[in-house]
Structure 1
Amino acid sequence: MIRYRLTLRIGVLLALAFATAGRADVAAAKRWIDKEFQPSTLSKDQQLKEMEWFINAAKPYRGMEINVLSETIPTHEYESKVLAKAFEEITGIKVNHQVLGEGEVVQAVQTQMQTNRNLYDGYINDSDLIGTHSRLQSAVNLTDWMAGEGKDVTLPTLDVNDFIGKSFTTGPDGKLWQLPDQQFANLYWFRYDWFKRPELKKAFKERYGYELGVPLDWSAYEDIAEFFTVHVKNIDGVRVYGHMDYGKRAPDLGWRMTDAWLSMAGASSKG
């Protein structure tokens, strides 16, 4: 019985990993380098050298099609409409990059893992599933794959350690199960000027027994929220609160709690 395995590679890096080709065309590579792949940290000569590597590595796979599914956001729409076309023209491999709603992507991933039926060759999905991939072993372990079976079709200049957010796609086993493609960055700001006011610093220390500052754990975060919301209440004639965030009903509220609030307040976990 053949066991289908999910291949979780991200955007154009899915293509880099497979590096498959047909109708390989250096002229096409030059056109894309000139009109689309700018600006770049690489010179055009260096870019062309990499494109030539793709073309050569892709020769055994001419005519192949790869099916990829991702969530409908601008980043992935660009990959679907622009980068997939570039990859096909340069290597000859057709990437059918479909974009659907987030729930449909998660459902497809779950269905493929549960049934072992190959719906797509690759998914761009949330790194929240990293624990599932590591436990079930139903996805391709990229660390071992790129060093072993996939070595000949892994770009030699691919610097995995240069990826921002790699820790979020590395399982508890230390293996890389996904490559970061894009990230929703949650930024939380605090009123530095309030934290420096002598009267507020004095009142906070008298009440809680330590200096007012950026919280290092969840208890301190709660103390600061309570201090400004319940005890300070008004600053310069304006009602203030110790913590504010939007409360619209949405799936990402849970992620904001686990990925942002808890992690920045000292409750993060390696898994």
Structure 2
Amino acid sequence: MRKYLLSAVAAGAVLAGAGSALADEAAAQKWIDQEFQPSVLSKDDQLAEMQWFIKAAEPFSGMEVNVLSEGIPTHSYESEVLAKAFEEITGIKVNHQILGEGEVVQAVQTQMQTGRNLYDAYVNDSDLIGTHSRLQLAYNLTDWMGGAAKDVTNPGLDLDDFMGTQFTTGPDGDLYQLPDQQFANLYWFRKDWFDREDLKTAFKDKYGYDLGVPVNWSAYEDIAEFFTNDVKEVDGVPIFGHMDYGKRAPDLGWRMTDAWLSMAGAGDKGEPNGIPVDEWG
């Protein structure tokens, strides 16, 4: 029976278990040449890192690692490509299963409640950081990677290079999850309009601050009002409307409230990380 679970472990960052004698440097070179490009590392540096993985895997012959995640393209790639590469390079067999989001959450809850080891690692939402840090049923990665798992933690792992660790850090300041993927929300705008001196002057005269990318929701409204009601047209071409999402989808409502409003500071400051709370929190 395993008391603790690994949560949101980024593929290849930590060796969580097991291997066989199939580790192969030639396979590592094949994957480097055919799949792991482009890379911020040179091919020589990539091979050196793969050699470390091969060596670190040697004591874990004959075991397997079972991982569960929800079905999005990132995790499909991990399941279908990275798991195969990891096994060929290190000899560690990773069974990466994909289920629906609700089923992943149910499995996490069942494992925590019963203590039965359903999976060795989960890729689950960072929304569970409060649960993991409070219940102490997921590995404290800060302690684990610096202690019991130090010898099997990639020495090239750069935690500062991850985006979103503030969402996976508990109120005790320790890391319980490694960010694996992000839902990016982007603000697109006509920079050539924002750079026009006549428009910049007119905007500042009316609103009292510089025209630029909005840092809060009221600025977003001011910019929309300015271009719609004051500018009306640029170089003889009428301005009409704006777009947040261009594809019809059932998640549009919560994308607006969860992502845009909270990014604009419209949510309450929440625990454990001080990030605005909306209907997700």
Identity rate, percent: 61
Residue aligning to 2:240: 240
Aligned with 2:86: secondary structure? helix
Distance 1:10 1:260, change over 3 A: farther
Residue 256 (structure 1) shift:
4.5
Residue 112 (structure 1) shift:
2.8
Amino acid in structure 2 at the alignment position of 1:17:
L
Deviations 1:154-193 (A, max 9, x none): 1112122122333332233322222122222111123445
Residue aligning to 2:107: 108
Residue aligning to 1:32: 31
Corresponding residue pairs, total: 266
- The normalised TM-score by structure 1 is 0.80
- Higher relative helix content: 1
Q: Is 1:143–1:176's contact at 8 Å kept on the other side of the alignment?
A: yes
Amino acid in structure 1 at the alignment position of 2:179:
P
Residue aligning to 2:167: 168
Superposed counterparts of 1:8-27, under 5 Å: 8-13=7-12, 16-18=14-16, 20-23=18-21, 24-27=23-26
CA distance in 1, matches of 2:29, 2:199: 64
CA distance in 1, matches of 2:244, 2:255: 16
Residue aligning to 1:119: 118
Residue 19 (structure 1) shift:
6.2
Amino acid in structure 2 at the alignment position of 1:254:
W
CA distance in 1, matches of 2:139, 2:200: 54
Aligned with 1:143: secondary structure? helix
Residue aligning to 1:87: 86
Distance 1:198 1:3, change over 3 A: same
* Aligned-pair Cα RMSD in Å: 3.2
Q: List runs of 5+ in structure 2 lacking aligned partners.
A: 275-281
Query: For structure 1, which segment, 122-131 or 248-257, has the greater mean C-alpha deviation from structure 2 after superposition?
Result: 248-257
Distance 1:248 1:104, change over 3 A: farther
Amino acid in structure 2 at the alignment position of 1:262:
S
CA distance in 2, matches of 1:91, 1:191: 48
Residue aligning to 2:154: 155
Residue 146 (structure 1) shift:
0.3
Q: List runs of 5+ in structure 1 lacking aligned partners.
A: none
Aligned with 1:110: secondary structure? helix
Distance 1:135 1:243, change over 3 A: farther
Deviations 1:207-237 (A, max 9, x none): x5655543333333344445556x4594356
Residue 68 (structure 1) shift:
0.7
Superposed counterparts of 1:1-271, under 5 Å: 4-13=3-12, 16-18=14-16, 20-23=18-21, 24-195=23-194, 196=196, 198=198, 202=202, 205-206=205-206, 212-226=211-225, 231-232=229-230, 234-235=232-233, 238=238, 240-241=240-241, 244-245=244-245, 248-251=248-251, 253-263=253-263, 265-267=264-266, 270-271=273-274
